[in-house]
Amino acid sequence: MSSSTVFRGCQALMAAAKAARASVATSSEVAAPKPRAPSRSGGIFKVTPVSPAMSKFLGVSEASRTDAVKKVWEYIKLRNLQNPTNKREIRCDEKLKTIFDGKDMVGFLEIGKLLSPHFV
């Protein structure tokens, strides 16, 4: 069965779609509104007060969750605290133990869960 027999009734619809596409192209050349960037002020991007232990670690009294995770990873990378044989494990030094409930080893997927109580 050929496609012309299947789509015979759709010719009118396809012509209308082509006309609409052509009118959009000409109207967009005139004055197209720029697409807005998504707002990054809520949810995990919202700046909130942090616990005293987290405040001491970060050096600020308020932070967003994303900024806190970034700073923790910077600290881990700078001090080479990832287990070289298993990169998913982080060996905690004394400073990290203060924010990770005193654990000696932490899985990288646990970081978000362990940081959550520090956001008031």
Per-residue pLDDT, 92: 94
CA distances in angstroms from 35 to 26, 28, 32, 38, 111, listed in the order given: 18, 12, 9, 9, 35
- Per run of 10 residues, the mean pLDDT along the chain (length 120 residues) is 59 68 57 63 85 94 93 95 94 94 93 90
Residue 92 near residue 111, CB atoms below 8 Å:
no
Q: Name the CATH topology of 43-118.
A: MDM2 (1.10.245)
> Which is nearest to 51 in space by CA: 63, 69, 67, 66?
63
pLDDT in the model for residue 11: 65
Domain map (residue ranges) of the chain: 43-118
Q: What is the pTM of this model?
A: 0.64
What was the pLDDT predicted at 43?
79
Q: What is the pLDDT of residue 23?
A: 62
Q: Output the pLDDT for position 100.
A: 94
pLDDT of residue 98: 94
Q: What angle do CA 35, 37, 38 make, to 5 degrees?
A: 125
Identify the pLDDT of residue 103: 94
Residue 44 pLDDT? 77
Give pLDDT, residue 108.
86
Output phi, psi for 50, to 5 deg.
-120, 165
